[in-house]
Homo-oligomer: A and B are copies of this chain.
Amino acid sequence: MDKLDTSASLESLTPAQVRALIRTNDHTGSTSGLAKGYLQANLLILPADWANDFLLFCQKNPVACPLVGVSEPGSRYIPELGHDIDIGRDVPEFHVFHDGQFTQAVYDLDALWRDDLVIFALGCSFSFEEALIQAGLKVRNIEQNTNVSMYDTNIACLPAGKFSGNMVVSMRPFPPKDAIRAVQVTSRYPKAHGAPVHFGDPQAIGIDDISKPNYGEAVDIYPGEVPVFWACGVTPQNVVRHSKPPFCITHSPGKMLITDLLSNALAVL
């Protein structure tokens, strides 16, 4: 392989090196496949007067919203996620919402930052996808080089204060034998949504057409395979749309915060 191939060199960088490129806007794309082995986080940023309710929401819905860090109000740092991470600049792209509606995408938060904002960092399924591959399983969305298929469901999250809404799930198809192994592997990663929440019949959780994901892209499901569904980090964004906080910022889908924590450092067992 050409040593100057950009993606190959990007993939060989440390978390700090990738974040340095992101900070200068020299990388504004997906973080999928980057800094392998390190935890990547979903972000939700809320004004302090909405933050306590969201903290409680995460406590009540730990499978969909596995908290890995919370900032002090007004701080753009969560030290336990790594050294010298300015979350306001070290994420490739952010989405801004007003009253639950998407309003703009930005590359940093310098112009938008406020002293009352609280950052929530939530684990993501990248951690367990790496573990599935290391266990010899084939992850279809990675094989097909597409974004994972995600669906709205009728599974209600437990409400907390001003927050309520249904769970969003990601789907990966497996033959039953591999699905059983996938339950075992992902159970080790509760901070990355843990074990599946459902498999088989999509309608049982309110998905009418498996070929039409609400987010991400459709993947092939081969004969003999069953769809396996995990709680998804897009759930908070769905909850924001439903609960309509006046102001909210998230990362852009697929463009995550790369932390200095090894995924396996948060694995159980």
Contact = CB atoms under 8 A, between A and B. Distances in A.
Interface stretch (A45-53, A194-202, A249-257): A194-202
A179 B195 contact: no
Contacts of A179: 199
Contacts of A226: 200
A177 B197 contact: yes
Interface residues of A, number: 19
A113 to B, nearest CB: 41
B224 A196 contact: no
Contacts of A198: 176-177, 180
How many copies of this chain sit in the oligomeric assembly? 2
A204 interface: yes
Interface in A179-227: 179-181, 183-184, 187, 195-201, 204, 224, 226
Contacts of A187: 184, 187
Most B CB contacts (10 A, CB to CB) among A177, A180, A226 go to A180
B195 A176 contact: no
Contact of A184 (B176, B183, B200, B224): B183
A111 interface: no
Contacts of A196: 180
A265 interface: no
Interface string A141-185: 000000000000000000000000000000000001101110110
A269 B188 CA distance: 11
Contacts of A180: 183, 195-199
Contacts of A183: 180, 183-184, 195
Interface in A39-71: none
A36 B197 CA distance: 31
Interface of A: 176-177, 179-181, 183-184, 187, 195-201, 204, 224, 226, 269
